[in-house]
Every structure is written in structure tokens, then in C-alpha cells.
A = this chain, B = another copy of it.
């Protein structure tokens, strides 16, 4: 079994450094483990407290007296090696070392401490994440050992990161967009398990459809490239790298003791590894989202269907800017589309309906363009959800109150049918909308595996990543299995 498979799927966890003092990181992490629904055993280890957060505490790992699958250490730096040794003696084989103060701090003392830590781990056969990390999240186990409350678990995205903040603090952002993470791994200083190990592990996790990496350095380039190339045969890998500038390098060194190289070097490394490079976290999440949900297009020809001109023009502009096409439709196809929309609508691509047009015809239009074989994918901008427009009307026309649930139901099934059209034709669909995940309409789309972005450029870049990944898979002479 891969050491990360074991580490990410414990049946029992002991946590060192949690107490009844709420200002401690360990306390927040324990509260999150306890409240997120983890079904296994949880043992707080505390020198003096009888109970921590209402559950029995143990003076030492030995005192637990049962097999402990995983320990998480949130302790003052000096005592970490000793405590890890006690864990080893008690038969623990997986650890997460949250504590900082190792290689990332100025001077030699941190380097020496990290060496010590590795020595202890090696002696007892312990595989570990960290030091200087923030914990893990595994939605399949309802396990959240990080500092963040209520992470949006589920979905098909895994994220392994040299930044703890990006695995743990990003959650409000994910929630607003409706993105769910299946697994996150904070690797910290990577004294033992590193990003290459994460790729080896995540490659065989069937629920994971796309893997994201936050990179400040790659410590084992050869192994990384090999692990990535194997992984991208099965699922896309997207990475961001921020070590390539002068200040970025200074920052990485102080952050995880990472020695970073120039941007171009990493560009080349990612290309060689078949890894897509994203500019920043928000960009990477946009790509992982679509890559984890939508099928790959067979080409770059895209349809745009909209009921607002500005977003339609913007989508047409941005998809061309990123190297795709919005081809003019054939006369034969336009005749079919005109029969649905009426003569006053422009159907040449974009298909630009107007505000008052019955939005439910979008489904027929999408069917026609997909059936035509003239496009490889589609973008839709639509004003979904009459309820959002009806708030003031309902105050003025109280009889409308009764119609609301009817509208809601109508929209929800319409949107699911749109997603179904895309799935039937195995052509990717992206929706642009300013309504966030708080809208029931948008949530319906997301639940049907359709990603929704709030701008044309983000929609276009996301779709483009499917084209890019299709090219990578083609290059590698293989196809990933269906989503």
C-alpha cells in the first residue's frame, strides 16, 4: 500500500498539541476533526488535561494502548523529534508534523532539527508529511485535520500543496464558486513525502479526476517528471509555480526552505512532465474544476449561445484570444436554428437571443449545434432563474408568490436537461453567469457537472484547458478512461 494511501485513510488518529486553549492551532484542528464527521477513533495526547474538548485525553501515545494509524503533531519545535520517537515505539507508521521551526527558519538550527526528524522517522519506518504543514482533508473519510471549518468536500479534485494556506484557507472562495475538493495534502517542507509521492498516490485514486499542485520548488525533478507523466495518462495535472522571481525566491526560501529556479526552467519541466501550468490559485481552480467534470473536445470549434449580447461578444472574443474558434454556422444549420428562434435572432454563431425570448429553447439550440457536427463544444450565457428577477415584482404583484416554486422546478429540470444534452453528445459545455453558487439554478448546473464561471475570459481559458489536456493525452499516445 502506498504510504499516502495509509496516511490519508486512517481508522484512528492521535493529536499532540490540542488542548482546551482555543488560541492554539492544535485545538482548532482537533475541533475540526471531531466536528467534520470522521468515523474513526480520535485520541488527544496531553501532558496534564484529563479531557480535551470533552473527550478523554491521554498522557502519552503509549497510554492509548491501541493501534494508532496516524498522529498529528502540533508541538513546540524542540519536542517534536522526541514525541515522534515515542510514536515510533508505539507502532505508529504515519505522521503529520504541523510544527514549524525547521529548515524554513534562518540559520543552521532549523536544518539540524529537520535532519534529526528524518533520522527518527527512518529508524521507525514512519512516513510523514511536513514539517511546517497544516494537515489533510479527505472527503471520502469526512476527515479534516486542517484549521479550516466546513471545507466543501466531494467532487473529483485533489490538491497537493507546498503552501498550507492554499489547502486550508481557500475554502470560502471554493464555497462561493461551488467547487468541491475531494482530497487536499499539505506537504510543508517535504522532509519525507513530497509532491512526486502525492502524484504516485493520487494516480490510482479512482474518485480523483484532476490533480492540482502548488509548487515553490521541485526537490526531485527526475522522480517528479516520471510520476507526473504516469499520472497524466490517467488524469490531468495542473500546477502553479511562484518561485521564479527575485522576491519570490526569497519568499520561498523563508517559507518552506525551497530553493527555487527560474520560471522558464519550470515551464520546461512542466511541459516535459505533461503538466498544465496555471498562473495562480484562482486560475488553477478554474481549470481543475472543468477538467474534473467535463469530457474532452475533439477540436477547437465552439458554439456560443447567449441571451445577452455583451457576454456573447465577450465569449466570442475571448475564445478566439485563447486559440479556439467560433466558426460561422453553415446555411443548413442556420435554417434549422432560425426555425426555432424566429427570423429576428442572429444565429450565425454566437446565437444571440434576447432577454424576452423563452430561455427553454436553449436546449433545442444546443441539440441542433451538437448534432450538426460543426462544433466540438459550447458556451452558454443565460439569465437563469426567474426568481432572481422577481423579488420586487412579487412585492407589487402578490399573486406571483404562488408561481415561484413552479418556476424554480421548471428551471432546475431545464438546466439538468441542458447538461444531459452535453453528456449525450460527449461534448464539453461551459456556462457563464454572474450568479454565484448561492443561486439554485447555478447549483443545479454544478450538480450536473457543468462548471459556471463569472467572466468570458475565465470561461474561455477553462475550456481551452480541455483542449490542452486532450493534446497532452494524444501526445502520450493514450487516452484516459471516461469521466
Q: Which A residues contact B (CB, under 8 angstroms)?
A: 20, 22-25, 27-28, 30-32, 34-36, 53-54, 100-101, 104-106, 134, 147-150, 161-166, 169-173, 176, 214, 216, 240, 242-248, 250-252, 254-256, 279-283, 304, 308-314, 316-321, 325-328, 343-344, 346, 348-350, 352, 354-356, 381, 383, 388-393, 395-397, 400, 434-436, 438-439, 454-458
Chain B residues closer than 8 Å to A381, beta-carbon distance = 165
Chain B residues closer than 8 Å to A354, beta-carbon distance = 100
Q: What's the least CB distance linking A53 to chain B, in Å?
A: 4
4 additional A-B residue pairs with CB within 8 Å, beyond A25-B355, A251-B313: A104-B309, A164-B308, A250-B348, A280-B457
- Can you name 23 A-B pairs with beta carbons within 8 Å? A22-B397, A24-B356, A28-B390, A35-B392, A53-B396, A150-B391, A163-B308, A169-B383, A176-B176, A176-B436, A246-B320, A247-B304, A247-B327, A248-B317, A250-B328, A250-B349, A251-B346, A254-B309, A254-B348, A254-B350, A255-B352, A282-B455, A283-B455
Complex Cα distance, B258 from A346, in Å, reads 14
Contact, CB under 8 Å: B25 / A173: no
Interface core residue of A242, A309, A312, A318 (most chain B CB under 10 Å):
A309
Chain B residues closer than 8 Å to A101, beta-carbon distance = 344
Contact, CB under 8 Å: B243 / A313: yes
The 8 closest A-B pairs by CB, nearest first: A163-B310, A255-B309, A165-B308, A254-B346, A247-B326, A247-B316, A242-B317, A248-B317
Chain B residue nearest to A344 (CB atoms) is B105
Q: What's the least CB distance linking A100 to chain B, in Å?
A: 6
Stoichiometry (number of copies): 2
User: Among the listed B165, B170, B308, which residue makes an inter-chain contact with A309, where contact means beta carbons less than 8 Å apart?
Assistant: B165
Contact, CB under 8 Å: B392 / A256: no
Contact, CB under 8 Å: A388 / B149: yes
Complex Cα distance, B119 from A145, in Å, reads 71
Chain B residues closer than 8 Å to A163, beta-carbon distance = 308-311, 313-314
